[in-house]
Structure 1
Amino acid sequence: MNAPNCSPHTAVKEWEEAGASLLAAFKKYADMCTGIVKLPTDGGSVEDLAPRIESILHTVHATISEGLPKATAILTRLQNKLASSISHFPEEIMVEIFTNFIFDDGGPDLFTIRPMDQRVWLIYDLLHTLRGVCSAWRDIIMDRGSLWSVIPMIRTRSHGEIAPYEFSLQRAGKGTLHLAAFHRCFVFWERDFTKLISEYGPQLRTINIILNNTHLETVRETVCTLLDHDLTGSLSEFSVALEELRFKHREDSDYHDWDYTVPEFPREFDYLFPCDSPQHTSFALLLKSLVVFRIKNVLLHWEHISFSSQLTELHIQSIKLGYDDAIVPFVQTLSSAPELRVLKVIEVETFRNISKSPKVSALIPVELPKLQTLILYNLYFNTFNIVLRMIAPGKHRLSLGLDSASFETNQPPGVAADDFSNSHISGDEDMDVDGGDNPINISELLNALGTTHVDKLRLKAPINTIRTLLRGLPALLTLELNRWIIDESIPEWSATKLDRYHDHDASPDFPHHLLPELESLHLTCLSIGNHSIQPFQKMVASYCKEHVTTGHGPEAPEPYTP
C-alpha cells in the first residue's frame, strides 16, 4: 500500500485489513511453531531443521522484533496527538499560545528583574524547549517568523562571540524585527551592526542597545549609524544605555587616559550631541516618531526636544543634570507627549542652588491626561520635590523608591552643609534616617507627597523609619523591602515593632487602621535572626494576607530593563 497516494478512508481501510491479515497469519505461524516442536526428531526429513530454524530467527523474527516497536511508537504518538485537545486548536491559536509563553515577562520570578541579555537568552531557551516537544510544534515554530523576531546581537554565554543572529534574521523573514544589542565596545561589532541596519532597517520596530564599560563617543557612533539610515517612521521603540560610563578629560592628549569620575556639572562635550549640530536635529526628529524611549547615562539638551504625540513610555536614568533648574526643561517637554502612560525617572541628580533654585510653588504643573504610572526611584529630595510638583495631579499611580538620598538635599561640591536652611532633623521618629550631610525629616517628604496616591513603595530602612512612612501612606498597596534584617534582639530591626497591631502605637493618634493593609509584600535578600521567625510571620500577616514574596532580588531598586 502506498498510503500517500490513497484517500484517507481507503488508507485506513487497507491498514485495518493488513492488521487483520497480520493477526491471522501470526496466529497460524504460532500454531505451526507449536506443531514443529511435536515432530519426531529421529527421521531423516527433519535432519536439516536446526539451520532452518536459525534462518527463520534471523530473518522473520528479527524483522518483526525491529519493526513492531517502531509501528507501535508511530501509532502511540498518533493516538496521543488525536486524543489531545490542544492538537485540535487552529494553528493561529497555537501561535498565540506560544507567543504568550515565550515573550511573557511574568511568571513566578517576576520580582527578579532580568538584565536584557538574560531575558534574550530566556526567550531562545523557551523557543528551543517548545521546538523539542513534538514535530508538529517544531513545524509551527520554525514556520512562524514572529517567534524569531527578537534578534540577539549579544555575546554568547559560552564563547563570548557575537550570537549567530543571522539564523534569527532568516527565520524571521520579512516580518517585524526587534534588535537587542549588548556589547562592551562598538568597534568589535560595528560592521555587523551597520550591515544589519542598512539591510533590515525598514523592518526594525524596536532597537535596544546597551554598551558596557565604554565612553560617550561609542554611543555617538552607534546613534549616528542609526541616523545615517533614517529610521524615522519605521522605528517605534528605542532604548540606549551606557553602563559603567567612562569620562575623558578634554585636555588629555592620551586617548586611553580615562577619568572614571562622573562630572558633577555637565559640560557641552558631555552631551550626546551639541544642541546646534545637525546630529542633534536628526536625533530630535527621530524622537518625534517614537512610542517608547529609554535612556541611561546619556545627556540630552531637553530644551531643544519635543516628543511624538504617540509616545506612551519614557524612561530616564542615571543622569546628573546640574542645578535644580536644569530638570525643569525635561519636565516641561513632557507636555509634547499627551498620550504618555508610563514615566520613569530613576537616579537623576540635581543640585540645590541657594541663590537661584526655582521656587517650587511658582512652577507651572504639566498636564499628562493619559498618565497611568509614575515611577520615581532614588532621587535626592530637592530633585524629587520639583519633579513631583511639576506633574499635575491626576489618576496616575505613583511607585516610589527611597534610599538614603531621598532624605537628603543634594548640595554642590564645596558648599557647607550649614548653608542649607532646611538641613535639620526634627523629632525622634527621624533619628534612624541616614540623610547624609543635608538631611530632611520624614514629615517634609510626606508633605511633598501631599495627596498624591502612592501605589508602591520600595526602600531599605530601619523599622522606625518604615513605620513612620507607612503612617503617612495609609492607601499603600505594595511594599517592597530589599536587604532587610529582622532581629528581635536589636530594637531597630525588631519585627514586633513594625507589627500593624503593635501595642506601642495603638493610640488614638496612630490607630492600626491608619497603617496600610497591603495587597502585596515583597521581601528580598532577607536576613532573619534567631528567635525572630514567629514575630516576623506575625508582622507579615498583620499587613498582607494576599501576596507575599520572599527571595533573592536585585540590589538596585530598578535596574535598566529595556
Structure 2
Amino acid sequence: MIHGTAQPVYPAIRQWQEAGAFLENALSRYLELSISLKENVSPQDTPPKDLATQIDFALERIQGTIIQRISYTRATLAQMRNRALSPTYYLPREVLSEIFINVVFAPSDLSPFAPEPLKTRVTQMYRALYNLLGVCTVWRDVALNYGLLWSIIPLLGSPSRTPIDENSSSVPMHILERSKGGLHLVATRPCDLMCESILAERVPRFHTINISTSSQSTLENILKIFLNENGPERLSLSELSIYLDQDDSYYDALPHEADDLFPLDLMKQASFTRLVPNLSALRVRGAQLCWHMFNYSHRLTELHLQEILFGYDIAAVNFLGVLSSASELRILKLISVRSFYNGPLNDNEILKIQFPKLQTLLVDDLHFNTLDVFLSSIISRSHHLTLLLSGRCLYVRLPRNPRELEEVSWEILYELLRKVLVRDLLIAGDSVDPWPSPSPMVLGGLIKSVAPSLETLRMNSWNFDTAYCNVLTHSSLSQDSPALNIINLHITRAKIYNLESLVDMVTSHSKSIQHVRLGLAIQDDRGDQWVPVQRDHPLASALEDIIPSCQIIDYQFYPPQFEDAPWQLW
C-alpha cells in the first residue's frame, strides 16, 4: 500500500488509505484461512463434494467479482496518477475546449497552398476529433460535452471508412445528440425520409448550409427541408453555399427553364427567393438560379459566383442591377462566369453600379464580352480588384454554335483595362488557355494598361527569353505610360532562356519591389532538358543580394490562384 511520510491532509485520502490497509489485511487473512482448510477441514466434518462446491463458488466470486473490482480499482488509480502528473489536468475546461477547437477546425498544413475538397476537410476534422477522444478520459469528457465540436452535421457519400457513417442515407444521430447551439450542414448526398424529419425538427438551429453534388435532385432534396412555405422567419440561416457540377455541354447553349432550381414547383422557387435576402453570404457554383427574381438586402456581405451561365450579356447586366441593392456588399467573386455575346449593348442598357462598401472584387477567367459587362458596369473604385486573365479574355462567346468564339483585338482589351484600377494582375500562361499572338510587345502593352494601380504581378506557365525579360523591365513598362511601382512579383512554372536578362529585369524594379517569388527551370548544358532551379543555385544568392525577401520555390509548384480549386467547406 501507499506509505506516506506526512500525515494526510484531506479526510478523503485518509479514508482511502484506511480502506486500502483494511483490504490488504482482509486479503492476507483470507489467504491464511484458505491455506488452513487443508489442515482444519476433515471429510468427517464436511463431505468432500460440499467442500468442492463451496470452493467452486468462492473461485467464481474471486474471478468474477473480486479480481474484476481490483482490476477496475487499479485502472482508476492509474488514471488518477496520470491526471495528477499531467499539466493539462489542471487546465480549466474552457481552455481545453479552446485548444480542441483549434485542433479540430484549424486548416491543415497544406492550406492555403493546396485547398482541400469539401469531403476531405470534413473527414479530417472528425478524425482529429475522434483522436482527441482517445487520449484520456478527461479529454474525452471535455470533447463529448462541448457541443461546438459537434456542430458540423455531415451527410457525405463515400465508401472510405471514417468516424462518420458515410454509407447511411440518414443523419448521424450520435453527432446531433452531442451538438449544442448553432449547426452547420455539409451534404453531398440526399436525405431519406427519416433524415428529412430529423433535420426539419432542427431547422432553426442551422446557421450555414454547404451542398456539393452533381445531381440537381440531390440539391433540391436538401434545400426543400429549409424552404418552409410559412416563410424564412423561423430560419437562422446566414450562409448558403451550393455547388452543382454541370456537364460541359450545359455551357454550350442558352439556359433552359428546365435547368432552374425547382423548375416544376413555383412555391419552392418563391420560398427560395424569400430566403436570399436573409443571407450574409451566398456562394453558388454551377447551379442555375432565377437571378432576376432575387431581392438582395443590406445583410449580404459576400457573393461568390463560379461557373454561372447567365444567358446573353444583357442578363448579366440585369443581374448587376438587382445586386446593386446589396448596399453592404464587401466581397464579390466572379470566377469563370459566362454569358453570350449578341451584339453591342445600347447606351441605355449599360448600367453604372456603385457598391459603396465593396472591399474585394475578384474577376477570374472571363471571356471578353462578360469581362466587359462587369468591369464597365461596376464604377466604384474603392475596392481591391484582383484580375486573372486567361486566353479567354481575347474572345467573345457566341451562341450560334457550341463553343463558337470571335477574337477581339489586344487594343480593345487594353482600352477596357485602362478604365479600371487593377491592384493584382494574374496572367495564366499558354499551358492553361492558348493566348493568340503572345508576343513580348503585346505582353508589355497588357501590363502597361493597368500600370497606374498595379501592385502585384503574378505570371504562371510562361516562357521567358531575353525579349520577354526586356519588355518587363521598369524602364520599358514606364515608357509612354504612368510610372509602374510593382510591390510583389510572382513568376512561377517559368522556363528561363537567359538568366542574366531575368536578373536585370527583377533588379530594375528594386526601388519599389518588396517581395519576389520565383519558380524557375533552366536548360541543361546540352540544351535538351529543363532543370528546376533550386534554392542553392547561384541565381538565388544573386537575387537575394538585390532583394532580401526573394524566395526560390519548387518549379513544379502550381499556385492555387491559377488552379480550378475544389469546392471548399468555407
Which residue of the partner structure matches residue 132 of structure 1?
134
Q: Are the equivalent residues in 2 in contact too, given 1:205–1:235 (CA < 8 A)?
A: yes
Number of residues of Structure 1 aligned to a counterpart in Structure 2: 477
Deviation of the 1:313 alpha carbon: 1.4
Which residue of the partner structure matches residue 540 of structure 2?
537
> Equivalent of 1:151, from 130, 134, 153?
153
Map 1:203-282 to 2 at 5 A: 203-212=205-214, 214=215, 216-228=216-228, 230-232=231-233, 233-245=235-247, 260-272=249-261, 277-282=266-271
Instruction: Determine the C-alpha separation between the residues in 2 that align with 1:133 and 1:279.
Output: 47
Instruction: Determine the C-alpha separation between the residues in 2 that align with 1:548 and 1:78.
Output: 47
Structure 2 residue 11 is the aligned partner of structure 1 residue 10: yes
Deviation of the 1:479 alpha carbon: 3.8
Which residue of the partner structure matches residue 286 of structure 1?
275
Instruction: Determine the C-alpha separation between the residues in 1 that align with 2:521 and 2:105.
Output: 27
Which residue of the partner structure matches residue 566 of structure 2?
559
SS in 1 for 2:252: coil
Q: Are the equivalent residues in 2 in contact too, given 1:341–1:371 (CA < 8 A)?
A: yes
SS in 1 for 2:307: strand
Deviation of the 1:531 alpha carbon: 7.1
Please tell me the residue identity of whatever aligns with 1:545: S
Instruction: Determine the C-alpha separation between the residues in 2 that align with 1:165 and 1:466.
Output: 58
Gaps of 5+ in 2: 2-7, 26-66, 415-426, 478-483, 524-528
Q: Are the equivalent residues in 1 in contact too, given 2:485–2:509 (CA < 8 A)?
A: no
Distance 1:305 1:399, change over 3 A: same
Instruction: Determine the C-alpha separation between the residues in 1 that align with 2:464 and 2:514.
Output: 17
Q: Are the equivalent residues in 1 in contact too, given 2:273–2:294 (CA < 8 A)?
A: yes
RMSD, aligned CA: 4.7
Deviation of the 1:295 alpha carbon: 0.7
Instruction: Determine the C-alpha separation between the residues in 1 that align with 2:364 and 2:253.
Output: 20
Instruction: Determine the C-alpha separation between the residues in 1 that align with 2:464 and 2:346.
Output: 35
Instruction: Determine the C-alpha separation between the residues in 2 that align with 1:416 and 1:263.
Output: 9
> Equivalent of 1:357, from 335, 341, 345?
345
Q: Are the equivalent residues in 2 in contact too, given 1:374–1:399 (CA < 8 A)?
A: yes
Which residue of the partner structure matches residue 381 of structure 1?
368
Which residue of the partner structure matches residue 175 of structure 2?
168
SS in 1 for 2:144: helix
Distance 1:320 1:143, change over 3 A: same
Q: Are the equivalent residues in 1 in contact too, given 2:238–2:280 (CA < 8 A)?
A: yes
Instruction: Determine the C-alpha separation between the residues in 2 that align with 1:462 and 1:539.
Output: 21
Gaps of 5+ in 1: 2-6, 26-61, 247-259
Deviation of the 1:327 alpha carbon: 1.7
Deviation of the 1:73 alpha carbon: 3.7
Q: Are the equivalent residues in 2 in contact too, given 1:237–1:293 (CA < 8 A)?
A: yes
Instruction: Determine the C-alpha separation between the residues in 1 that align with 2:386 and 2:160.
Output: 38
Q: Are the equivalent residues in 2 in contact too, given 1:273–1:300 (CA < 8 A)?
A: no
Which residue of the partner structure matches residue 29 of structure 1?
none
Q: Are the equivalent residues in 2 in contact too, given 1:408–1:435 (CA < 8 A)?
A: no
Question: Under a length normalisation based on structure 2, what TM-score does the superposition of the two structures give?
Answer: 0.69
Distance 1:201 1:92, change over 3 A: same
SS in 1 for 2:227: helix
Which residue of the partner structure matches residue 337 of structure 1?
326
SS in 1 for 2:337: strand
Which residue of the partner structure matches residue 390 of structure 1?
377
Deviation of the 1:308 alpha carbon: 2.7
Deviation of the 1:96 alpha carbon: 2.2
Q: Are the equivalent residues in 2 in contact too, given 1:151–1:179 (CA < 8 A)?
A: yes
Distance 1:276 1:152, change over 3 A: closer
Please tell me the residue identity of whatever aligns with 2:124: L
Instruction: Determine the C-alpha separation between the residues in 1 that align with 2:79 and 2:345.
Output: 78
Distance 1:272 1:419, change over 3 A: same
Distance 1:558 1:388, change over 3 A: farther
Please tell me the residue identity of whatever aligns with 1:292: A
Question: Under a length normalisation based on structure 1, what TM-score does the superposition of the two structures give?
Answer: 0.69
Map 1:181-200 to 2 at 5 A: 181-183=187-189, 186=190, 189-200=191-202
> Equivalent of 1:517, from 500, 514, 522?
514
> Equivalent of 1:370, from 333, 357, 364?
357
Which residue of the partner structure matches residue 391 of structure 2?
404
Superposed CA deviations along residues 493-531 of structure 1, whole A, max 9, x for unmatched, are x66544xxx23686xxxx323774327x48699999337
Which residue of the partner structure matches residue 53 of structure 1?
none
Deviation of the 1:305 alpha carbon: 1.6
Q: Are the equivalent residues in 2 in contact too, given 1:298–1:319 (CA < 8 A)?
A: yes
Please tell me the residue identity of whatever aligns with 1:461: W
- Range moving further from structure 2, 236-245 or 201-210: 236-245
Map 1:43-54 to 2 at 5 A: none
Instruction: Determine the C-alpha separation between the residues in 1 that align with 2:382 and 2:391.
Output: 28
Superposed CA deviations along residues 49-72 of structure 1, whole A, max 9, x for unmatched, are xxxxxxxxxxxxx99x99998688
Which residue of the partner structure matches residue 82 of structure 2?
77
Which residue of the partner structure matches residue 326 of structure 1?
315
Superposed CA deviations along residues 18-42 of structure 1, whole A, max 9, x for unmatched, are 999999x9xxxxxxxxxxxxxxxxx
SS in 1 for 2:102: helix
Superposed CA deviations along residues 242-299 of structure 1, whole A, max 9, x for unmatched, are 11438xxxxxxxxxxxxx4533322333333569944433222100011111111122
Instruction: Determine the C-alpha separation between the residues in 2 that align with 1:237 and 1:515.
Output: 40
Distance 1:436 1:152, change over 3 A: same
Q: Are the equivalent residues in 2 in contact too, given 1:331–1:366 (CA < 8 A)?
A: yes
SS in 2 for 1:294: strand
**Overall identity of the aligned pairs, in %:** 27
Q: Are the equivalent residues in 2 in contact too, given 1:457–1:479 (CA < 8 A)?
A: yes
Distance 1:460 1:559, change over 3 A: farther
Please tell me the residue identity of whatever aligns with 1:399: T
SS in 1 for 2:96: helix
Deviation of the 1:204 alpha carbon: 1.1
Distance 1:535 1:225, change over 3 A: farther
